[in-house]
Structure 1
Amino acid sequence: MKPKIVSWNVRGLNEATKRLRIRNLLRGWKVDIVCLQETKMKLIDRRIVRSLWSGVHVDWVYLASNGASGEVVVMWDRRVVEKLEEFIGRYTVACSFKSVSDNFLWAFAGVYGPNLNNNRVLLWEELAGLHCWWNLPWCIRGDFNVTRFPSESFGNRRGRPAMIDFSECISDLNLVDLPLAGGPTTWANNQTWSRLDRFLISPEWESHFPDV
């Protein structure tokens, strides 16, 4: 059974009204795994998790807010996947999972990327290290804060070298960049828009979940 995964840049979780809106949406979507970026929170405890996703079967791991970097929480339904190991990096939260239905072993990473090119190199190195550490089928999801192609942005100055480095990282890790559905962008502000969010999967993960 394919897990239903939702990823979302929430731009802050401190307001109770926003958490309630997210909770109502997650209930309607009937999700199995949730990845939220830009939480802007230093502590995510059980009270916060229950305000987002109720139920005794929910577990979580998070990267705390540290100024303008980090800020990722990954939550999952333990009836669907069992966490084997976890990793909390500078820009990444990752878990190795075992699917409860068929014991399939795979890894998931949630990413909130940096805005500076020098720091992006650290993200690519972090993902490469994770890919080697867990020799498993991968699903990587998040807000990478960089586009891959000039056609994916309008009205900003995101540099071409960063795009090339991002594409090389995807190629080196042998990942599949899933196409975007529902529109060409994932972020917009006045006259500026970009595609900053992506699902990257390994061919082995896609083979196991062919209807992704």
Structure 2
Amino acid sequence: MNICSWNVRGMNDPSKVGDIKNFVNVNKISVVALIETRVKLKNSSKLQNKFGAQWHWVSNYDHSDRGRIWIGWKHRVVTLTVVYKSEQIIHGIVSANSANFTYGFTAVYGLHSIETRRSLWRELSSLSALNNLAWLVMGDFNSFLYSRDRVNGNSVTNAETIDFETCLSQTDLTELKSCGHFYSWYKGHEVHRISSRIDRAFGNSCWHGTYSDVVVDYMNPGLSDHTPLVMNYKVNMKKGGRPFKFFNYMADHPQFLQAVQKGWEKNQTTSTMQNVWSKLKAVKVEHKALHKQEFAQLETNIEKCRRDLEMAQSISIANPDDSVAQEKETECVAKLKLFLKVQESAYRQKSRI
């Protein structure tokens, strides 16, 4: 499952929307926080629809009329339940639909001054007190954590870092391991451009204990001046069983009718239609059991039959008077013919589909 946070610095340019959409698709993003969209509320649905019907969206327009934060998620892959929204935060619970993977997710866009960001630190502290899950916090904090977080600009002062440091100590958040670029924001295109690390990803102790192998990739900024942060976690998705398919060759099996009768006699219920449905389901179970017993791994069985036939023929030809070897050869020929007939029937049926 890939999770992304990206300050896109405006989405009113159609070419930028296309670039963001392509990035999301190429990197197989399931949850994305798009920050600083600069899209008016009346135009937001139109742009969100360009990503496709597989995406659901939530934003914080009720706290900021400039669309500061959008969170999108592929609803067939995950479910997101919004818990809290403000001008600088959207917080929710993300659950994978087909895996045991649930975590708190907070998208952040910090305001541009030390004073206005103080409400952000208070909100994160409040969320940490309520959060008993693995917690992932990603976004543009617009704040520095260490003196090395800016080059070719004014030196980072203690006043710029102290609130951020205090918040982290109060919330049990520590930064995730990262790769790619170190700096996440760039100003100017000259040789000595100003570069800063203001986009970050954090996890609480529960996150680090559970997903210790997760790394955040700081990628190229594309049409923005911020790098997208992409976190990949390999979720063990629970795969459903193979869909039921009736192969015509099963009807020729000598135990086929017996399997049907055995299934049809099960699951007596009060409702007539429910009774029919239960019987058909039981027949399917019996059919699958018979198929697994007699025809599972068809290609492998054919190769085994060929090897057995080759061995039997070698013995039979070398010993013309060995009746047991001849009977074994006859048995292998019949078995191989049966499996080849089954294979041909399956190929014919699939080709029509």
Pick aligned residue for 1:17 from 12, 15, 18: 15
Q: Which of the two has greater strand per residue?
A: 1
Corresponding residue SS for 1:168: helix
| Aligned counterparts of 2:106 and 2:170: Cα–Cα separation in 1 | 17
CA contact (8 A) 2:82 2:90 kept: no
| Aligned counterparts of 1:90 and 1:47: Cα–Cα separation in 2 | 22
1:180-195 to 2 correspondences below 5 Å: 180-190=178-188, 191-195=193-197
Structure 1 or 2, whichever has the larger Rg, is: 2
Alignment identity in percent? 30
Pick aligned residue for 1:151 from 144, 148, 153: 148
Please state how far the C-alpha of 1:98 moved relative to its aligned partner: 2.2
Please state how far the C-alpha of 1:108 moved relative to its aligned partner: 0.5
Equivalence for 1:77: 74
Corresponding residue SS for 1:128: helix
CA contact (8 A) 1:70 1:91 kept: no
CA contact (8 A) 2:68 2:87 kept: no
1:1-212 to 2 correspondences below 5 Å: 3-43=1-41, 45-51=44-50, 53-54=51-52, 56-64=53-61, 66=64, 71-154=68-151, 155-156=153-154, 158-190=156-188, 191-212=193-214
1:73-127 Cα offsets, whole Å, 9 max, x none, are 1111122221233321120111112222334432101111011111111110111
Show structure 2 runs of 5+ residues with no match. Answer: 215-353
CA contact (8 A) 1:156 1:192 kept: no
| Structure 1 length-normalised TM | 0.88
Corresponding residue SS for 2:179: coil
| Aligned counterparts of 2:139 and 2:34: Cα–Cα separation in 1 | 8
Q: Which of the two has greater helix per residue?
A: 2
2:210 aligned partner, one-letter code: H
| Structure 2 length-normalised TM | 0.55
| Aligned counterparts of 2:197 and 2:13: Cα–Cα separation in 1 | 26
Against the structure 1 CA distance between its residues 181 and 128, is the aligned structure 2 distance closer, same or farther, given a 3 Å change threshold? same
| Aligned counterparts of 1:201 and 1:40: Cα–Cα separation in 2 | 28
Q: Which runs of 4+ in 1 moved over 4 A?
A: none
Corresponding residue SS for 1:7: strand
RMSD: 2.1
1:132-174 Cα offsets, whole Å, 9 max, x none, are 2343221000000011011111203554223121022112111
1:24-69 Cα offsets, whole Å, 9 max, x none, are 1111111111011111123264431122x22x332111123847x7
Give the count of matched residue pairs.
207
Against the structure 1 CA distance between its residues 158 and 14, is the aligned structure 2 distance closer, same or farther, given a 3 Å change threshold? farther
Corresponding residue SS for 1:109: strand
Corresponding residue SS for 1:11: coil
| Aligned counterparts of 1:81 and 1:205: Cα–Cα separation in 2 | 18
Against the structure 1 CA distance between its residues 76 and 124, is the aligned structure 2 distance closer, same or farther, given a 3 Å change threshold? same
| Aligned counterparts of 1:50 and 1:70: Cα–Cα separation in 2 | 16
CA contact (8 A) 2:111 2:142 kept: yes
| Aligned counterparts of 1:204 and 1:5: Cα–Cα separation in 2 | 18
